[in-house]
Amino acid sequence: MKQKLIAGNWKMNGSLIANAALVHGVQQGLASALGAKRVQVVVCVPAVYLSQVQQLVQGSGIDLGSQDVSAHEQGAFTGEVSAAMLKDFAVRYAIVGHSERRQCHGETDEQVALKAQHALSAGITPIVCVGETLAEREAGKTEDVVKRQLAAVIHTNGHCISEIVVAYEPVWAIGTGQTASPTQAQAVHAVLRSQLKAATEHSDRVRILYGGSMNAANAAELLSQPDIDGGLIGGAALKVADFLTIISAAAR
């Protein structure tokens, strides 16, 4: 069975002091949250704090992640951070194609696919986000949208596709307190799973996370669905007790 993965996406939150308190708190509660089980725990932090959090998580069993990676290797791309630079800070996971980047920064499916490619070639696991808006769901386009978004990544990355992590994050559920029901989420995860199956014989290795208002109260039920292999957590990952409760739900 795949090990579940719980990733916190801190988004644009934190400070030197707050980060230290958050990581220490999670570290302190981690062993009892996990019990005998193993769950991969990741924190995806703002780029300026990678160095700080790299030190904080050392030897703790928590892995470091970034919230983005450049689609370019190096050069005249002001403000961008390359996969090789992330690797310098022992980054193991990079979120790519988060809906906030697709919406606020106009990232296209093709750019997201290239970002995944750059991460993979640096030995970083991309967490590829897909998800529909409310208007798309209401128009019955959910399946088309998520398949189109994932297809671009499959097309660009070929046989490496079994090395990615996918995160289904319905845009209408992000930061709204409105979670997809376990049945709604499982239905989309099953679609993504069969798309991966058609692309690689190692599809069973690919973890498909759910993200969008996952919290301490709803995590256990979401995580018990057959194709939900973990969570990508925003707001609740900033609160020690809530994040630990979600981790222990994944360890059940």
| Residues that are catalytic | 98, 169
- Where in 46-105 is the site for ligand 13P (CB under 6 A)? 98
Asked if 250 touches ligand 13P (CB under 6 A), the answer is no
| Segment interacting with ligand 13P, rule: CB under 6 A, options 20-28, 113-121, 140-148, 211-219 | 211-219
Measured from the CB of residue 243, what is the shortest distance to ligand 13P in angstroms?
11
174 binds ligand 13P (CB under 6 A): yes
Distance CA 16, CA 51 (A): 11
Provide, rounded to whole angstroms, the least separation between the CB of residue 223 and ligand 13P: 14
Examine residue 211 and tell whether it contacts ligand 13P (CB under 6 A). yes
236, 214 Cβ separation under 8 angstroms: yes
* Piece of 73-81, 196-204, 207-215, 242-250 that binds ligand 13P (CB under 6 A): 207-215
Say how far residue 191 (Cα) sits from the centre of its chain: 18
Integer Cα distance of 162 and 100 in angstroms? 25
Question: Measured between alpha carbons, how far is 228 from 212 in angstroms, rounded to an integer?
Answer: 13
Determine contact, residues 53/91, Cβ cutoff 8 Å.
no
Q: Does 235 bind ligand 13P (CB under 6 A)?
A: yes
Cα torsion at 234, 50, 7, 34 (round to 10°)?
-120
User: Interacting stretch for ligand 13P, rule CB under 6 A, among 111-119, 153-161, 186-194, 229-237?
Assistant: 229-237
